[in-house]
Structure 1
């Protein structure tokens, strides 16, 4: 049987260490250790392993909740059959998070409804589970945050704070054109992270049309240069997955965009 006084000591130490899972698993694992003939080292490793696993799981969920994802989408749920030209191996490699340790970017290009945001969220969740801080917002929302910081005279400090976030996801670049001031703010966000921290960007427009979005071909070219210098660019094709069961092949605006390209 377990030593009551020893378990009380363990409970006290676990509370002092703010490690409640140690208190919860110590007695149960002690009985298993006795019955299976574990060494002291095996028992200690098992107890600490439970605590570390629980902390990692709890931390992952906290990072996922604070990231601002509009919904939760996993890479495992992505329908590659609908995107046969997309390399499963490339996406799986990105899911390991190696690109984050190298401060590389990921750019997802393609028509609406082809899975860009799903992949961005899935990669973001993988990053959070690997211990990285993640922040998700649309391009319009990011510009709004930067405008607010600029108006308050705190833009440099805001950019420094954002650079501490391992992964920033910018969704829907190109859906709404930016004014000149907004384009300059977005350029500063990209520049501040260049070779320091990673971006994932999704856009319904090819790079050749980003000048129309930012209202300045020179600014757009400089921005694209910094984004793609260290980046994996994935192009998704086809009509909207969301419309596949409606009998509508694609959205009228997308047909017009494709015809113009």
Structure 2
């Protein structure tokens, strides 16, 4: 092993140890006392652990997102989609707009795949390690009303603000309780 390869290996071990929240003494001990084969094995162990943690994180994010079903961009038919100027399919599928804190509104007639596309965006965001939450509008309104009744509205709002991507879907009936008398309001969309 050349000195350059050894230095690269030592740096990779140091970086992996840092990502695993291990002290720098682990990397120092390895650098000073381990054989090259031992260092290679340790790096392999660290990388496997980091990969497992990333996979577990993606699974956790997917579960917490609350998608009603699993959808991806694969096989999605874009022929009926009209993108605004300066926004492309590639930008949509990369979820760059999420990282840039830009809003996206999908609108159109019923049955055109808006929910499929919204879920696919959310799934991609979770795969990228972004905190995502999916709600129907009705579900969110009811959740907010319940949190208000229970005195936990601030906590819910803070949790929502921590999300990288918040997906609101589905127009519908929202029951509103005013002074004990139930009223129904219909949220109307253009579709």
Q: Quick check: TM above 0.5?
A: yes
Match of 2:160 in 1: 162
1:154 and 1:168, CA in 2 relative to 1: closer, same or farther beyond 3 A? same
Residues 164-218 of structure 1: CA deviation (Å, up to 9, x unaligned): 1221110014x4478698xxxxxxxxxxxxxxxxxxxxx9834xxxxxxxxxxxx
Match of 2:182 in 1: none
- State how far apart, in whole Å, the 2-side matches of 1:153 and 1:62 are: 27
Contact 2:141/2:174, CA 8 A, preserved across alignment: no
Among candidates 48, 51, 65, match of residue 49 of structure 2: 51
- What's the secondary structure of 2:170's corresponding residue? strand
Match of 1:75 in 2: 73
How much is the aligned-residue C-alpha RMSD, in angstroms?
A: 3.1
Match of 2:91 in 1: 93
Contact 1:110/1:205, CA 8 A, preserved across alignment: no
Among candidates 48, 58, 61, match of residue 59 of structure 2: 61
Report how many residues are paired: 148
Question: TM (normalized to structure 2)?
Answer: 0.65
**1:138 matches 2:136:** yes
Among candidates 127, 130, 133, match of residue 129 of structure 1: 127
- State how far apart, in whole Å, the 2-side matches of 1:84 and 1:167 are: 21
Q: Normalized per residue, which structure has more helix?
A: 1
Give the number of the structure with larger relative contact order, counting CA–CA contacts within 8 Å between residues 6 or more apart: 1
- Which stretches in structure 1 are left out of the alignment for 5+ residues? 1-16, 18-37, 182-202, 207-253, 255-261
- Which stretches in structure 2 are left out of the alignment for 5+ residues? 1-19, 21-35, 179-186
Residues 122-171 of structure 1: CA deviation (Å, up to 9, x unaligned): 01011111111211110000000000111123322321121112211100
- State how far apart, in whole Å, the 2-side matches of 1:167 and 1:79 are: 23
- State how far apart, in whole Å, the 2-side matches of 1:129 and 1:84 are: 24
Contact 1:132/1:167, CA 8 A, preserved across alignment: yes
Contact 1:97/1:126, CA 8 A, preserved across alignment: yes
Contact 1:111/1:205, CA 8 A, preserved across alignment: no
1:92 and 1:44, CA in 2 relative to 1: closer, same or farther beyond 3 A? farther
Contact 1:134/1:166, CA 8 A, preserved across alignment: yes
- State how far apart, in whole Å, the 2-side matches of 1:158 and 1:145 are: 9
